Amino acid sequence: MAKLSAIQLCSVPDVEKNLSQIDALLAGLEKDPEHIVLLPECCLFFGGRDSQQLELAQNSIDSGQNYLVDALAELAAKHSVYLVAGTIPKLDINGEKFLNRSYVFSPQGQILSHYDKIHLFDVAVQDSEKNYLESKYTQAGQSITAVNLPFANLGLTVCYDLRFPELYRALTKQGVDIITVPAAFTQVTGKAHWQPLLQARAIENQCFILAAGQQGCHANGRETWGHSMIITPWGEIKACLAEGEGSITLDVDVESINSIRQAMPVNTHNRFKTELIK
Ligand SMILES: O=C(O)CNC(=O)[C@H](CS)NC(=O)CCC(=O)C(=O)O
C-alpha cells in the first residue's frame, strides 16, 4: 500500500512563512516509507505582484545553490517523504523568464526529477483579476515527465495543464499510476470545472489523481478554489478538503489499477494518436 497526501495552502508572498507552514503540516502527517506528499502550485511564494516571482527566481540562486530547492529538499528529508513540491519559480537559461517548476524529492532529500508547466494560463476570467497573462514572466515547459518510484510511477502536471487531456494520455502511455496536479485554480473557474476535470482525467486514464490547491484570499486580492482531492482510477473522490489550510491522506493499492485496465482496456482500444507540439 502506498500513502498519498495533498497539502492545501493559502500561501503568502513570504518564503520563510510558507516554509514554516509546510513544515508544520508535514509534521502532522502519518509516517510511511511509501508516502507521496503533494504541495500546491507556487507553494513558496504566492499572492504578490507577478514580477516578484521572477525576482525570486533571480535572487534564489547563489554560487550555483538554489535556496528554495535546498529548503524543500531539507523538508523532504526531515519528514522522510517523497515530496512533490507543487511549483517554485526556476530561472530560465536566458534569465528573462522563469519556469513554473515541480520538483520531486526522495525521503533522503535527493532531487529525483522535475517538470516545467507546459500550458500557460493566458485567460480572461470573470473575477477581480479579469485577465491572467502567465506567459508574461513564465517560459513554457517543452517535455513531459514520468518518474519511476520503487512502488509507483508518477506523472507530473500543473494547474491549467488539467484542461489538456492529451498530456495525461501521453503520461499514461509512459506507464504512470498516479498523476499529480498542484494548482492555484481561480474561484470562478474552480467552482465550475475543477472537480469534473479531475474526475475525467482519473477515469479516462484509469489512474490515481492527487491534486493539491491553493485556497483562500491572497495578499494581492486573488481568490483561489482549494478543494484538494484524491481520486481513484474509477473516478471516486475518496478525500477532499474544500477550504482552509490542512491535509488529506489516502492509502492506495496501486495494483488495483490492473484489474480496472484489464476489464476496460481503453488505452489499447484508443484509435487516436497525439504528440506534443514543439
Ligand atoms: O501566477 C501565479 O502567481 C501562479 N500561477 C497561477 O496561479 C496559475 C497561472 S496564472 N494559475 C492557473 O494556471 C489557474 C488555472 C485555472 O484556474 C483554470 O484552468 O481555470
ipTM value for the complex: 0.92
Residues 6+ apart with CB under 8 A from 219: 12, 13, 47, 48
pLDDT at 62: 87
129 lines ligand 1 (CB under 6 A): no
Phi, psi (rounded to 5 degrees) for 84: -100, 100
Burial 226-260 (b: 16+ CB within 10 A, else e): bbbbbbbbeeebbbbbeeebebbbbebebeebeeb
Report CA(87)–ligand 1 centroid distance (Å): 11
pLDDT at 113: 98
pLDDT at 129: 85
Ligand 1 pocket test: which of 12, 52, 134 has the largest number of ligand atoms within 8 Å of its C-beta? 134
225 lines ligand 1 (CB under 6 A): no
**Mind listing the pLDDT tens digit for each residue in 175-214?**
999 999 999 999 999 999 999 999 999 999 999 999 999 9
Report CA(151)–ligand 1 centroid distance (Å): 31
Report CA(261)–ligand 1 centroid distance (Å): 32
Instruction: For residue 148, give the nearest of 181, 117, 171 by alpha carbon.
Output: 171
Element (H, E) at 195: helix 195-205
91 lines ligand 1 (CB under 6 A): no
The one-character DSSP state at 186 is B
208 lines ligand 1 (CB under 6 A): no
Ligand 1 pocket test: which of 97, 128, 132 has the largest number of ligand atoms within 8 Å of its C-beta? 132
214 lines ligand 1 (CB under 6 A): no
pLDDT at 68: 98
pLDDT at 227: 99
Domains identified in the chain and CATH numbers: 2-273 (3.60.110.10)
Phi, psi (rounded to 5 degrees) for 13: -80, 60
Q: Tell me which residue has its CA closest to atom 17 in ligand 1.
A: 185
Whether the Cβ atoms of residue 169 and residue 144 lie closer than 8 Å to each other? no
pLDDT at 130: 86
Whether the Cβ atoms of residue 198 and residue 231 lie closer than 8 Å to each other? yes
User: Average pLDDT, whole number, for the chain?
Assistant: 97
159 lines ligand 1 (CB under 6 A): yes
- Could you report the average pLDDT of every consecutive run of 10 residues in the chain (278 residues)? 98 98 98 98 96 96 93 98 98 96 98 98 93 97 98 98 98 98 98 99 98 97 98 98 98 98 97 92
Annotated catalytic sites, by residue? Answer: 41, 117, 159
Report CA(100)–ligand 1 centroid distance (Å): 11
- Partners of 153 in the beta sheet? 148
119 lines ligand 1 (CB under 6 A): no
pTM above 0.90, yes or no: yes
Report CA(185)–ligand 1 centroid distance (Å): 6
What is the full DSSP assignment across 71-98? HHHHHHHHHTSEEEEEEEEEE-TTSSSE
The one-character DSSP state at 140 is P
Cell of 11: 500561501
